[in-house]
Structure formats: structure tokens, C-alpha cells
Structure 1
Amino acid sequence: MSNQGIHQKLVTLFSLLLTVLFVYTAVSKLIELDTFQWRLERMPYVAPYATLISWGVPFLELVIAGLLWFRRYRTMAFYASFILLGLFTIYIIIVLRYSDSIPCSCGGVISALGWKDHILLNITFMVFALLGILWSKKQYNMQSHQNTT
């Protein structure tokens, strides 16, 4: 099997894994929306934006999850995944470094993770998104070249 075939299967796998992550976290937040917003109101630096974040983040997660399944938008969705996970990871690192108390606003199984585990999980999914970006672009360039010849 060629690298192109393996890369295509991995891009699909990364799309699936990111979709599961984003749908799971979005649904967990929406089911417990009051609790999610309450926790955000107690988090350093984001409290003034708690209402916007409590609705915006789950909505964005669901949009990204959907876009991952349209070949035309997949690369953009991988970029969005990378950026969203990166912003959250940077936020965690800043809060861990400069704040005394850090309430977790996550839901479901993910709320059982420690902060270092959160960072590791996010970095792992960021690597998936980055590889998805690289291999989706490569796949798109190969298809474009084949269509022009």
C-alpha cells in the first residue's frame, strides 16, 4: 500500500477522533450548560466572557466536527481544531502558572483528568490536526495535479 493510501486513511481516522472529541465535549457542555457557565464565571481571566464562551465554544466545536466530514472544508476544520485546542492549552498553561485556584469547566470523563493530562490530551489531538493539515493538503495537491493532466 502506498503512503498516499495510508495518509488518506489516517486523515479519515484523525477526522473521526477529532469529531468524537468535539461532539462529546460540546454535548457534555450543553447538557450541563448552567454548570459549565457557572464554572467559567469562576475561572480567572475569562469570567467576564462566561456567557459568550458557554454558548460559543460548544457551537464552534460542533461546527468544526461537521466540517471535518466535508472534503472541501476538511483542511480548514483541521486548522480550526488546531487553533481551538492550542488556545485552550495555552490558557491552561497560563492559569497553572499564574493562578492559585483553577476550577475545571470540562464535562463527562474528561473532567476526571488532571491539568497535565488535559495538556497531554490536547497536544496529542493537536498533532492529529497538524498531520491532518499536512496530509490533506498533500492529498488535495495530488488530486488537483491529476485532474489537470
Structure 2
Amino acid sequence: MPNRGIYPKLINLFSLLLTLLFVYTATSKLIHLDTFQTRLERMPYISSYATLISWIVPFLELVIAGLLWFQKYRKVALYGSLVLLGVFTIYILVVLNYSDSIPCSCGGIISTLGWRAHILFNTTFMIMALLGIIWYHNDNIIQTHQNTT
């Protein structure tokens, strides 16, 4: 197998880091499900959906983490990562700008981050997912071109 460059290796690294993030956060949420749900109930704009969100978010995190390791589904999982992190980051920004109450629904070590650090943390992982999508697309174009010549 010829060396196709650094991009596939970086995509694997980003997939590993996203997997670790999602497995860690999902596990933390599920282990402390009552606490996670209670915190969601105190969140502005989404409190009435706390029970549903408390189950759907960790489920999505685990599904995305699993899909990141199947080449066939990696691109979809990278998009899912970007969307999930993006929705959460936008929600944080909306709450910070338009709400008086800003409880943190995070678990584990991530809950010790301040809001700015949390946004930077999420943005970093969103950039990884975006670069993974771009490089995945470019790598597939290169492979298709090599297979046709």
C-alpha cells in the first residue's frame, strides 16, 4: 500500500480524539444521568425537553464515536460530530448572550472549564471535524483519480 500522505493519518488522529471526547462525555452523562437531567431542566429554552435530551445526546455521542471507526461511515460521523458540537456551541453562545441563568450541564473534567474555554474547546474539536471532512473528501478524490489512470 503506497503512502498517501499525512492527511489519512490526521483523519485517523482526529477520529480518535473525537471518539475519546464523545465516549468520555456520553459515559459521564449516563453514569450521572439524574444529575445531567436535573441540570438540563434548569437550562433556559430546553428545560421542557430535558428528559428526551438526556437520553438522545449520549446516544448520539456513542453512535458517532462508533461510526468514526468504520471507513464506510467515517464521513457521515465527521459531519455528525461537526453538527453536534456546532449545535451545542451555538446554544452556549445564545444562552451567554440572552439569558440570565447559565448552569453547566457538562460532566467530568469538562465541567471545570469556564464558558470561554468551553467554547474554545468545542471550536477546536469542530475544526478537527471540519478538516477531517475536507481531507477525507480530498483523499477520496485523489484515490479515485489514481484508480482511473
Given the two structures, how large is their TM-score scaled by the length of structure 1?
Answer: 0.95
Counterpart residue identity of residue 146, structure 2:
Q
Q: CA separation of 1:93/1:121 partners in 2, compared to 1, >3 Å: closer, same or farther? A: same
Is 1:29 paired with 2:29? yes
Q: Give the whole-Å Cα distance in 2 for the aligned partners of 1:104 and 1:142.
A: 43
Residue of structure 2 in register with 1:121 after alignment? 121
Residue of structure 2 in register with 1:47 after alignment? 47
Is 1:68 paired with 2:68? yes
Give unmatched runs, 5+ long, in structure 2: none
Give unmatched runs, 5+ long, in structure 1: none
- Which runs of structure 2 are paired with 1:1-149 in the superposition (5 Å)? 4-149=4-149
Q: CA deviation at 1:5?
A: 1.6
| SS of residue paired to 1:73 | helix
| SS of residue paired to 1:141 | helix
Q: CA deviation at 1:138?
A: 1.1
Q: Give the whole-Å Cα distance in 2 for the aligned partners of 1:37 and 1:147.
A: 51
Q: Give the whole-Å Cα distance in 2 for the aligned partners of 1:20 and 1:100.
A: 32
Deviation digits for residues 87-146 of structure 1 (CA, Å, limit 9, x no counterpart): 000000000001111111110000000111110000000000000000111112222233
Deviation digits for residues 64-83 of structure 1 (CA, Å, limit 9, x no counterpart): 00111111111111111011
Q: Give the whole-Å Cα distance in 2 for the aligned partners of 1:145 and 1:138.
A: 11
Q: Give the whole-Å Cα distance in 2 for the aligned partners of 1:58 and 1:115.
A: 21
Q: CA deviation at 1:29?
A: 0.2
Q: CA deviation at 1:3?
A: 9.3
Tell me how large the CA RMSD over aligned residues is.
1.5
